[in-house]
């Protein structure tokens, strides 16, 4: 049996408000590219990769969401957490009348709703060729390594990169400017 620790109690902080405010600007197309850097374990993945897709679909279930990470396991973990949130009785009591997860496309790495929106979870370099997204997120992308002597060491920070791509609807193989 897996060790299940009780979650840490929620601690409100200004950075959480700032992340949510910027995600709202992404959703309203005021921001087309967003880079979020915070230290690990500060709630970025939970907000960006778990809660944000569920919030987006409550507002617009037609959105196609493409999520990636440096590791497929992390991307799959967050997709499952999003699906569990959407299927929870709490979420269904609030927004269950807006859309439902379809039964014919309900996998760990890809699930769709009856509004024709989907959430796809892949990894950097994963098989997403031909897939597109209205909102494309790379949570914890791989880092380019500089020679050890050229850059002083800094504490690692976790990164999420969001891109709104409503015109081409395909993920670019190059980073957005």
Instruction: Provide the pLDDT for residue 1.
Output: 52
Measured between alpha carbons, how far is 14 from 92 in angstroms, rounded to an integer?
29
| Regions of the chain short of the pLDDT cut 50 | 148-155, 166-177
Measured between alpha carbons, how far is 53 from 149 in angstroms, rounded to an integer?
41
Measured between alpha carbons, how far is 58 from 74 in angstroms, rounded to an integer?
24
Instruction: Provide the pLDDT for residue 91.
Output: 97
**CATH superfamily of domain region 32-142+156-164:** P-loop containing nucleotide triphosphate hydrolases (3.40.50.300)
Instruction: Provide the pLDDT for residue 94.
Output: 96
Token pair belonging to 146: 């500089």
Q: Is the pTM of this model over 0.85?
A: no
Instruction: Provide the pLDDT for residue 5.
Output: 79
């Amino acid at each position: 049996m897996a060790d299940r620790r009780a979650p840490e109690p929620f601690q409100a902080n200004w950075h959480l408000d700032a992340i949510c405010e910027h995600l709202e600007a992404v959703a309203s197309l005021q921001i087309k590219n967003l880079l979020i850097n915070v230290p690990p374990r500060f709630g970025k993945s939970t907000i960006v990769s778990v809660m944000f897709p569920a919030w987006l679909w409550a507002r617009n279930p037609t959105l196609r969401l493409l999520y990636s990470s440096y590791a497929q396991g992390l991307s799959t973990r967050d997709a499952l957490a999003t699906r569990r949130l959407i299927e929870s009785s709490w979420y269904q009591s609030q927004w269950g009348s807006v859309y439902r997860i379809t039964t014919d496309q309900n996998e760990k790495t890809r699930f769709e709703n009856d509004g024709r929106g989907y959430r796809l979870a892949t990894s950097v370099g994963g098989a997403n060729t031909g897939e597109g997204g209205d909102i494309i997120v790379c949570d914890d992308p791989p880092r380019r390594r500089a020679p050890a002597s050229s850059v002083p060491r800094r504490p690692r920070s976790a990164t999420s990169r969001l891109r709104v791509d409503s015109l081409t609807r395909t993920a670019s193989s190059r980073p957005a400017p």
